[in-house]
Amino acid sequence: MNTGKKGIIWEVLRKLVHLGALVIPILYWFLPWKFSITVLSLVTFGVVIADASRLIHTPFTRFIYRKVGRLLRRHEYKKFTGASYILTASLLVILVFPKPIAVTVLVYIIVGDTAASIFGKLFGRTKLAKGKSLEGSLAFLTFAFLASVPVPYVPTTTKFLGAMFATVVEFLPLKLDDNLTVPILTGLFLKIIAGILAG
């Protein structure tokens, strides 16, 4: 097995962990808002503190690297991980947006980003900016939209437009982590669309 194949295997494992974050929008849909916010705040605080400790405390850093080092991307060795960003984004969108929009945008980033990464690694031939591929972006759009279909109270056309917008945001070379930018900016976009349709 060559290094390239090993890299793909670790990326798939990493994204399967990322996919596990679907528990956030699923549980939030069925649980009361106040309870969801309380639990998510505690979890987010704990993960962010642990992440920060990993960056400044050498013994803890070594322990974490031994356990999950291969699941981290190179740029995450000296920065916060995707877990801190997705949890923070989840907390923010649940605080700011109505439940259907919050759940929809979290599904976009969790499922879409997973699909984009895996399909990009396996089938990405048409290279675009920032190391991304056309195939990966199309996978993001397709799977983000399909995964959002079961979410009630959001029109199908709106879900598709939201998936397209999320794909564009994920592709753009923004300095902030896409686990943060995609759900927040797409939530604003869907909120505007909802306002236009209501008017």
Tens digits of per-residue pLDDT, 153-165? Answer: 999 999 999 999 9
**Residues 91-146: pLDDT tens digits?**
999 999 999 999 999 999 999 999 998 888 888 888 877 778 999 999 999 999 99
Regarding pTM above 0.75, the answer is: yes
Sign of CA dihedral 26, 30, 33, 35: negative
Domain, as residue range, for 50: 3-198
Distances (CA, A) of 195 to 100, 145, 158, 191, 199: 14, 21, 12, 6, 6
Report whether 160 contacts 146 (CB < 8 A).
no
Contact, 29 vs 99, CB < 8 A?
Answer: yes
Q: Which of 197, 151, 194, 189 minimizes the C-alpha distance to 168?
A: 189
Domain count across the chain: 1
